[in-house]
Chains A and B, each alone.
Chain A
């Protein structure tokens, strides 16, 4: 299957700082990537859909000015958590859709963000 990487895998930062998370498709091109967030013992929740060459589409309740998404190329999408607060601490996972008719998505390994 396709491979998606994420960097960093873990980050600890102070409140008020900004954190950038990268998501790369390693062996395929992805015009669309998805960003999810997962709190402990909760399901993955879609935050936004990242579209190459155009603006991201955010889910209801997700602040676009706080979670900046840039899909600069067909293999890279970045999520920047601006002015992070402790409540932003979570597991952030990106994914890219596969080519199968059942729309399988390939997930990155995730980024665990801890805001102190």
Chain B
């Protein structure tokens, strides 16, 4: 079983749509969780951390279910500029030297 699994997509949605991405992780000792965004041929950039109680940042909502080892990202009112690959990332180290494990990413394409 892969450490971090995501639906590769692509998700093709119209502007204004709501889209949800799911992610599962295999290491139950994982300490912290993130969603990164990666544009084509660019480096990943942190979109948001994922907290146990769930958190929201504007149109983006992230949720964590430790019991199911499941993470989600919800994007409301999709914009053209949201088109990118979204990476689910898990830190299994916990300390400052932690090891980030990346999912392969889910590709989102928002169409006019």
| A and B: interacting chains | yes
Residues of B within 8 A of A100 (CB): 49
Residues of B within 8 A of A95 (CB): 100
Which interface class (under 10, 10 to 19, 20 to 34, 35 or more) fits A? 20 to 34
A78 on interface, CB distance cutoff 8 Å: no
Partner of A104, one of B34, B42, B43, B103: B34
User: When A93-B43, A97-B98 are in contact, do A41 and B49 touch as well, CB less than 8 Å?
Assistant: no
Partner of B46, one of A104, A108, A112: A104
**Taking CB as reference atom, which chain A residue is nearest B107?**
A41
Nearest CB in chain A: distance from B47 CB, A: 11
User: When A91-B41, A102-B49 are in contact, do A97 and B34 touch as well, CB less than 8 Å?
Assistant: no
Number of B positions contacting A (CB below 8 A): 25
Q: Are A112 and B105 touching (Cβ within 8 A)?
A: no
User: When A43-B87, A43-B105, A102-B34 are in contact, do A109 and B43 touch as well, CB less than 8 Å?
Assistant: yes
Q: Are B104 and A43 touching (Cβ within 8 A)?
A: yes
A95 to B46, CA, bound (A): 12
User: When A42-B104, A43-B104, A104-B49 are in contact, do A32 and B43 touch as well, CB less than 8 Å?
Assistant: no
Complex A-B: 10 CB contacts under 8 Å: A32-B96, A42-B104, A43-B103, A93-B44, A100-B49, A102-B32, A102-B91, A103-B32, A103-B91, A104-B49
A-side interface residues toward B, CB under 8 Å? 1, 32, 34, 41-46, 49, 91, 93, 95, 97, 100, 102-105, 107-110, 112
